[in-house]
Amino acid sequence: MKNDLQRSYDLKRKELETVCRSNGLALTIQRRAIFDALASRTDHPTVDQVYEDISEKLKGVSRTTVYRVLETFVSIGVATKISNPESKARFDADTKRHHHLTCIACGKVLDLHDPTLDNLVPREGKIPDFDILDYSITFTGICSGCRKKPLNKH
Amino acid sequence: MKNDLQRSYDLKRKELETVCRSNGLALTIQRRAIFDALASRTDHPTVDQVYEDISEKLKGVSRTTVYRVLETFVSIGVATKISNPESKARFDADTKRHHHLTCIACGKVLDLHDPTLDNLVPREGKIPDFDILDYSITFTGICSGCRKKPLNKH
DNA sequence: TTTTACTTGACAATTTGTACCAACTGCAAT
DNA sequence: ATTGCAGTTGGTACAAATTGTCAAGTAAAA
């Protein structure tokens, strides 16, 4: 008999199959392995961590493939990318608490100043053992400029 | 007579001087130029964008210096770094709305599931022209592991 | 099976970020 | 104003992260 963890794992695997099908994507062993590796950990691994994980099982995978497949997963919605889309450092001279609107099409980052969002506190007991110093909300979506033009593929 | 923009600009410049002094840091022309470049734009520039901006005025600045100075600014609190500290991509198979706790000491990212934070909506009229599709809150702070050990100056 | 479009692997090239060290410069104390 | 020095910078080299290219391989429909 399967436990809950195992069951949800199967469910996710099934989901991958469904989503790939509906997007006309082949269900390759690389994609399955990368998905399994990603889904079996909750620590938001880097590309190389995923690569390490699957290299053990899949002899001869390419790092390039891991990069590609993870981006594919993001585009079909079975994974998310933590932090900004380009994963390159961006700086801001405004150190007052404020939030960001990130366009998923062009990568532009706009500021959002809204005092109603400046005093959020996670519900007591929900926080793992962690001292919170600050926070920032990243809203993702489409900016006005990109809404007008047709989506240019990547 | 100075307008408001000019005045707030001077204020920020003055602030840089004050903060540098109180941290025992020299007010070099490079730091001033980099700060001016950063403070005069609101689009969260990358290191290279700042480098481009100041190269015009300061002949012969080094890209290395821009990297260094921007990190210095973050450490003394006159600038912030958008996105994760390592600025390297991290992925997550959990696509349901949830939030993150990022440790500024070790870079670890923990999940925070709290339904009270899952229905935020920016106040009407506060949003620039932008279609919001999703959002995620990043709380920054110190994880339990790093709280115990003394800060290692890297 | 066979076909074909989609994928991958290998490697090159680029981009991004860090380490190191000799030369330089704010700035505090003459 | 001059001097001395700790703090900074520039440049090169290096390491790490990411992307581009294309021939060869493979999933999946016919």
Query: Looking at the predicted structure, is the pLDDT value of residue A151 above 60?
Result: no
Q: Residues B114, B70: one domain?
A: no
Nucleotide nearest to A26 (CA to C1'): D27
> Residue written as tokens 């240019």?
A152
Q: What is the pTM of this model?
A: 0.89
Interchain contact, B82 vs A92, CB within 8 Å = yes
Q: Between B4-22 and B29-39, two packed helices, what is the crossing angle to 10 degrees?
A: 140
Residue B9 CA and nucleotide C26 C1' are separated, in Å, by 23
Residue pLDDT tens, chain B, 154 long: 556 666 676 777 888 999 999 999 999 999 999 999 999 999 999 999 999 999 989 999 999 999 999 999 999 999 999 877 788 999 999 999 999 999 888 888 999 999 999 999 888 777 778 999 999 999 999 999 888 865 443 3
As a whole number of angstroms, the distance between CA A105 and CA A103 comes to 5
Tell me if B154 is assigned to some domain.
Answer: no
Tell me if A88 is assigned to some domain.
Answer: no
Provide, as residue numbers in chain A, all residues whose Cβ is less than 8 Å from the Cβ of B92. 38, 44, 79-82
Q: Residues A71, A103: one domain?
A: no
A151 against A82, higher pLDDT? A82
Length of chain B in residues, anyone? 154
**Contact predicate B71/B53, CB 8 Å:** no
Query: What is the mean pLDDT of the segment spanning A61-69?
Result: 98
Query: Looking at the predicted structure, is the pLDDT value of residue A154 above 50?
Result: no
Q: Residues A70, A18: one domain?
A: yes
Residue B151 confidence (pLDDT): 47
Q: What percent of chain A has pLDDT over 90?
A: 66
CATH number reported for the structural domain that contains residue B133 in this entry: 3.30.1490
Q: Residues A104, A61: one domain?
A: no
CATH number reported for the structural domain that contains residue A24 in this entry: 1.10.10.10
Query: Looking at the predicted structure, is the pLDDT value of residue A45 above 50?
Result: yes
Interchain contact, B130 vs A122, CB within 8 Å = no
Interchain contact, B143 vs A122, CB within 8 Å = no
